[in-house]
A and B are shown apart, each in its own frame.
Chain A
């Protein structure tokens, strides 16, 4: 599914990165590699960007950039 379909509080796993070479490199180096699990923490007051928690730290990513990340939602209790 698409990153944009996730809601605040959702936990998801990175399936694939699309988009340009530079984008993929940057995003994966910040820890969003295939298989990495992250959580949507919050959305900025003006609706963009989004704060996620990945590999134990917090990262802000713009919606337009996040569309290049394919994810799989993890259901947890």
Chain B
């Protein structure tokens, strides 16, 4: 049995489905688009039930992807019951979608959600009367308090027996209803064979819905575009407005009529918490500082909070597990296979897993912003800034997160509504200089610009931002990233305290999907990179495939100022993670870094150490989030003198700056690419790769050539 949940955004639909499905929930994408699809299959009362969470929509027109998905899913797949979730504190607008859903003539029940809040605010509703007018069962629910959910499912399961045509009693205003009936008669005369309800088709014809007319042309091989022409003319003449608007008005008129009969509003709604909070959060003076403040905390909590866990996982896998597995394997397999398994496979798994804490933290705070209602305010406050790119204010959030790490920033684009907006922001994110690029800056600034380190690093951040905006402006003009013409009509929902359980489920299900989807791409690429560095068998860094191919392409980089193969060869390992470039340079330049690896192996001692370090990680995470004001993410590491000396032998300050610009703009890392692939598919990922290669090369050449010119000039 298939149950689909439909409703406006912010009505607690996801909370209901989360509470019913729990850990059975799976997150994916709707086929071919980047709209998130949540689904759960579970056994209830011995029956297998599939729950589908349809995208939150206000209407079922053909203008947005979300609306088309919702409507087509209900029409074209075998939905046995629609559960229409309403925010009972905002019935007037919520019922608009209900009327549209009823037009589809599918079995349906209504969840009157947030019913506890509704009663507390002093509303009164005549439930029996309401049911009778609509001809639909209504179940009051409270997703947060888990009230009414069992009843809701029970009602949905009961509906299956009475599957065939339900007669909804609701009819439209006389004149319009007659015109609808007239079109239905005409359709009958046409002998139209369609799986869709005739009355619905008639309404869509009157609304001149071109998408539906096309769909029907495909299904029935009939052109219905002119069938309702005279009906439309009569309606438009009588109401002096186009027929679509007339139908919208009439639906709102019906809603008004119903609510007058069944709903009793409280005498006076006292100034709510939402009003009070908004007087600060979107205040003309305080709005932007408050936004910055929240961004600081999301940034800090996400990156500093997850860092101790990332370090622990890194140490556990690459230190502890790698050590003992390597010892265990050393007698069984040859050295190269040992290296492949440990450095390639286990290293790849390590990369994926080390992102898990970050993803959990990111999704948690994103969900917190979204569910609490602040996300819409962020969009409202920052709208004008992003408007120049045709984006709304929410686009600011992925950009800011990008400074910490590009990977969560790519996933944070989910906060945006339109597919083309999401794509555009995803393409711009890699230009935000992430934390992993800092060790590279640290190395070169410490070597060449010791007294202006901060200034040089700042200049790189600015270059990234400027290029991101230029790229955004240019791409907006292309068809792939064209802005949708839909106006920005953003609901500012009431503030609500989200339940921890919901936040946890939503962040964990999304993280799981990251592990399985992005994980495979990452692990495979890691093995490829391992091959480049370690093959042919028994090769050294100088004779590896990587070094050989680096030597071939090095002349290409001459215009950019770094024409040593050692420097070029360090770029590719940087694909694993940018900070790896520093280690790779140390290897290609033959610098022996003092290793502080403890070679004594006591299994029990090491195991207890791992455990105690895990406990420390919890404390450190808590401490970093709440007691430490400074930002750990932006700390520059110190560099040994030997390393500096060797670097200064092969590079000049100018070529070093050019290299830093190159590393800033080049492909950030395979995990970011895997994230783009997971969210947007191969096409956008390859587009991003070419774009980044092109821009990083051009930019570093420009920096070097301009710099040389200036130098000669002076």
Contact = CB atoms under 8 A, between A and B. Distances in A.
Same complex = yes
Interface of A: 17, 20-31, 33-36, 42-49, 51, 55-62, 65
B380 A49 contact: yes
Interface in B55-94: 58-59, 61, 63, 89-90, 92-93
Contacts of B277: none
A59 B492 contact: yes
Interface stretch (B184-192, B237-245, B500-508, B669-677): B237-245
Contact of A27 (B383, B489, B490): B489
A62 B487 contact: yes
A25 B61 contact: yes
Nearest to B244: A25
Interface residues of B, number: 41
Interface string B361-386: 00000000000000010011111110
Interface of B: 58-59, 61, 63, 89-90, 92-93, 96, 241-242, 244-245, 248-249, 252, 278, 282-285, 287-288, 376, 379-385, 387, 485-493
A31 B242 contact: no
Contacts, number: 124
A57 B491 contact: yes
Given A25-B248, A56-B92, A46 B488 contact: no
A47 B384 CA distance: 8
A3 B89 CA distance: 28
B244 A24 contact: yes
B492 to A, nearest CB: 4
B93 A56 contact: yes
B607 to A, nearest CB: 55
B380 A21 contact: no
A27 B89 CA distance: 21
A44 B377 CA distance: 9
Contacts of A33: 245, 248-249, 252
Contacts of A20: 485
A48 B387 contact: yes
Given A27-B487, A48-B383, A34 B92 contact: no
B59 A29 contact: yes
B486 A45 contact: no
Contacts of A21: 242, 244
Q: Is the interface of A mostly helix, strand, loop or mixed?
A: mixed
Contacts of B488: 49, 60-62, 65
A60 B241 CA distance: 25
B381 A45 contact: yes
A21 B24 CA distance: 42
Given A33-B252, A43-B284, A57-B93, 8 more contacts: A29-B61, A29-B96, A30-B93, A44-B284, A55-B92, A56-B92, A58-B493, A62-B488
A58 B492 contact: yes
Contacts of B241: 34
A23 B245 contact: no
B242 A22 contact: no
Contacts of B89: 56
A59 B242 CA distance: 24
B252 to A, nearest CB: 5
Given A59-B491, A62-B383, A17 B245 contact: yes
B61 A58 contact: no
19 contacts: A22-B63, A22-B486, A25-B63, A28-B249, A29-B248, A31-B96, A33-B249, A33-B252, A42-B278, A44-B284, A44-B287, A49-B380, A49-B384, A55-B93, A57-B90, A57-B93, A59-B489, A59-B492, A60-B488
A34 B283 contact: no
Given A22-B63, A29-B61, A33-B249, A48 B384 contact: yes
A27 B489 CA distance: 8
Contacts of A30: 58, 93, 489, 491
B522 to A, nearest CB: 39
Nearest to B384: A46
A23 to B, nearest CB: 6
Given A27-B487, A29-B59, A29-B96, A60 B252 contact: no
A28 B96 CA distance: 11
B558 to A, nearest CB: 46
Contacts of B385: 46
Contact of A34 (B59, B249, B485, B489): B249
Contacts of A29: 58-59, 61, 96, 248
